[in-house]
Amino acid sequence: MRAGKRDRIIKVYKPCEQTKSTFGETETSYELMYEPYAEVTDARGNERWVAAQFLAEADKVFNIIWRAGITPKHYIKYECQDYDILGTVEIGRREGLAISAKLRAVV
């Protein structure tokens, strides 16, 4: 894949240590892993009523230069919205990485 199509900057966050709250609950915090350039493609979208509220879902595919270690435990921030990573697919022999992600927003 040519680098010219990667014209958006995304942020990939990784989970770090879990902290205990005052009530004994564990909370996972996230820190910035890196900021690659990506080609962003819309995959599909869905809107529906669930439990008396309007639920909107938007799927995107982020194509970046290959990097090891990105898993569904990470998340992506793109245009001030958080996307949960569903899975990754290697493009070529360590040429690129296609990351499928889903945005969930309650409207």
What span, in angstroms and rounded, lies between the C-alpha atoms of 40 and 10? 9
Q: Taking all residues of the chain, what is their mean pLDDT, rounded to a whole number?
A: 83
What span, in angstroms and rounded, lies between the C-alpha atoms of 49 and 39? 31
Average pLDDT over residues 47-56: 64
Other C-beta atoms lying within 10 Å of the C-beta of residue 48: 8
Would you state the pLDDT for residue 74? 94
What digits encode the pLDDT tens for the residues 58-87? 789 999 999 999 999 999 999 989 999 999
Dihedral pair phi/psi, residue 45, rounded to 5°? -140, 165
* pTM (two decimals): 0.78
Would you state the pLDDT for residue 28? 82
